[in-house]
Structure 1
Amino acid sequence: MSKHILMVIGLVAASVVPASAETLSLKVMGQPAGSGLIANNKEKPFFENLAANTGIDVAVAYSPVDVTGIPDSDGLRVLKSGLFDIVSIRGPQVSRDEPSVLGLDLVGLNTTFAAGRKNTDAFKNYVDGRIQEQFNAKLLGVWPAGPQVIFCKPEITGLDDLKGLKVRVGDQSAANFIAGLGATGVPMPFGEVQQSLSRGVVDCAITGPASANAAGWPEATTTVLPLALQLAINGYAINLDTWKKMTADDQSKLEGAVAALVDEIWAYSEELYDDSMRCNTGVEPCEQGKPYSLKEVPVLDSDIAVVAKAVGEKSLPVWAEQCNAMSPNCEAEWRATIGKNLGL
């Protein structure tokens, strides 16, 4: 066979190599860099090493949302636009664009990690359907930042002391709950909270102990009330156009790897909560955070009862009206899934 024919065969063979043999390029927008150890120790390394973690021939450009300059409330819009292929969705922040997301984590619903896992597993398929329909994106998994507790600059002894105070909240469900206590809920990006507490723009703020520790909130507060209002459910979603370009094998590998990451974060979030509460209140061992000396307020049975009643009396009715306005079957699907778990 002549060299010319061999060259032609080689050129033809090269021209018919399937597109899947090319390296897949993914742009990933992550959690804020300052939001804590879940982002820095789990999420960032996972995506930066996605090829090794999945076996997919992929190159990833990972950017924390606060580095991009994009508001974290725009996560779903960013997915729809295709500006990023995968987004680490901040659930409370994007719930105004898609209210069904908030149905995963109404105030009073997920007061423990076990309850949160059961409730999110029950409702996430509905949320996925809504995100696919409205934002051209597929939900790959959901996970908790951790129990959302109350940090205050003035000393408080319980929920009653919040009356008349300004409280930073992460979503509408928390805002409604805080309003019911006679306080004012103030929506505010996470990165602005520490300074706002220092300057008295807000008196108190709600987040997880690990995030508060990482962002230095104990430097601007005196008291923490470890009463879990929510779990701050976040998630990972991929643009459907990007998803459809992937081979079935690569799709399966990505789903499996993200599922494993999500499982890891659920366990890590619980570990972080315990350690961060010790760190924030000056108790040893403090292994993963910075030690502070906040006063930990004992949780009253009466306050636990107020939060427990919030789902049926405040969180669900207000949220259902908002969600049904966007999707008429939203409340019915919630009651058939999470509501069934709760006996509602």
Structure 2
Amino acid sequence: MKYLISTALAGLLALPVAAQDMPETEFNVVGSIGVLSMYTDKELPFWTEQVPAETGGKIKASVKPFTELGFKGGEIFRLVSNGTLQMATTVLAYNSGEVPRNESTDIVGLIDDVEVLAQVVESWRDSYAAFLEQEHNIKLLGFGTYQAQVIYCRDAFTSLADLEGRKVRASGASQQAFVSHLGGSPLSIAFAEVQPALASGVVDCAITGALSGYKAKWHESARFISPMPVNFGLAAQLANLDWWNGLDPAVQDYLTTSLRGLEDSIFELAATETETGLACNTSGPCPHGDPAGMTLVPMSEADEALRDEAVKVAILPEFADRCGEDCVSDWNASIGETLGITIE
């Protein structure tokens, strides 16, 4: 008994001072897509291993991915806002049709790598956090991202222009504007439903992460893939503001700091996954399974020109119309300054 008491005391003394002062706190967390690495490699061990270890079990979170809870994805933002969900991770583009600012940092055609995305996110963080609190009763706790979103198609194509007339799964308003500009028909389909939609011909092509599509076995129906970064699938860790304000300050401080650490680790992971995903979908090498043998459709100068035209003619003007004058002003002063772009 003396040994057990000593061991418990030693464990308590090893905890950070803030953790020793925490009240026991339990809550539910809705995670991101359950079969993908943002959840399996980062979110799940964060909530089930790191948090209990660092707080001596004072914080206990029950975490499940939204794909196992019957959600489509687009409703997550609203459910956090109205307090149905306490905390959740969601891809912001899923709700960008209703809340245009959700897409501000991840507009199609503007960013080619995760490092630049991280800079853009940092420039927008404070303004976006204030907007969420004032307009949607949401506390912003951090971001995450998938790897570059790329185009998968069932049938052969040699350039972006060949997507004209095809039905394309597109998540988010700027992806839909992009597909429309190319002459395609954008369709909003939940991630888990895309593979059967490709198999049955409901869609001809679909956009998602280079590694995400491989893990979801899109290659079983889609045989051609473009390496062009469309955008990145930016996600955010959000909490209902009323619920958050009711937490003990020590719990708030711990979660604020630790979730920023989770954000950093997710971005580090995403930086490597575009190349890995393209390799897995084509000829390898692939650390996640057998190479899928898809045909890679190289990006041409004509594709770059068509993408740039879409950004100038369709994507940015439509974003500005949806987001409004104040939003555009904030965007130009932060993201636009970081990227050297001004929305007129």
Normalising to structure 1: TM-score of the pair? 0.88
Pair 1:164 & 2:165 matched: yes
Structure 2 match to 1:133: 134
Unpaired segments ≥5 residues, structure 1: 1-19
Show CA shifts across 1:90-140 (max 9, x none): 111122232101111111122211221111211122222222122211111
Counterpart Cα distance in 2 of 1:238 and 1:109: 28
CA contact (8 A) 2:22 2:251 kept: no
Structure 2 match to 1:52: 53
Instruction: Note the C-alpha offset of 1:239.
Output: 1.5
Structure 1 match to 2:296: 296
Structure 1 match to 2:336: 339
Counterpart Cα distance in 2 of 1:202 and 1:97: 24
Counterpart Cα distance in 1 of 2:289 and 2:256: 31
Pair 1:142 & 2:124 matched: no
3-state secondary structure, aligned to 1:235 = strand
Aligned CA distance change for structure 1 residues 53 and 228 (closer, same or farther; 3 Å): farther
Show CA shifts across 1:5-64 (max 9, x none): xxxxxxxxxxxxxxx754111110111213x12211111121223222556711111121
Q: Which has the larger radius of gyration?
A: 1
Structure 2 match to 1:119: 120
Counterpart Cα distance in 1 of 2:117 and 2:130: 20
3-state secondary structure, aligned to 2:74 = helix
Counterpart Cα distance in 1 of 2:158 and 2:143: 33
Give the aligned residue type for 1:178. V
CA contact (8 A) 1:99 1:319 kept: yes
Aligned pairs for 1:187-226 (under 5 A) are 187-226=188-227
3-state secondary structure, aligned to 2:231 = coil
Counterpart Cα distance in 2 of 1:53 and 1:184: 49
Instruction: Note the C-alpha offset of 1:248.
Output: 2.7
Identity fraction in percent: 28
Structure 1 match to 2:281: 280
Aligned CA distance change for structure 1 residues 101 and 55 (closer, same or farther; 3 Å): farther
Give the aligned residue type for 2:92. G
Count of residues in correspondence between the two structures: 320
Give the aligned residue type for 1:334. W
Counterpart Cα distance in 1 of 2:269 and 2:129: 24
Unpaired segments ≥5 residues, structure 2: 1-20
CA contact (8 A) 1:51 1:57 kept: yes
Aligned CA distance change for structure 1 residues 56 and 329 (closer, same or farther; 3 Å): farther
CA contact (8 A) 2:167 2:185 kept: yes
Give the aligned residue type for 1:174. Q
Aligned CA distance change for structure 1 residues 88 and 204 (closer, same or farther; 3 Å): same
Counterpart Cα distance in 2 of 1:55 and 1:95: 39
Where does structure 1 differ by over 3 angstroms across 4 or more consecutive aligned residues? Answer: 53-56, 308-312
CA contact (8 A) 1:107 1:310 kept: no
Structure 1 match to 2:327: 330
Q: Give the alignment's Cα RMSD to 1 decimal.
A: 1.7
3-state secondary structure, aligned to 1:104 = coil
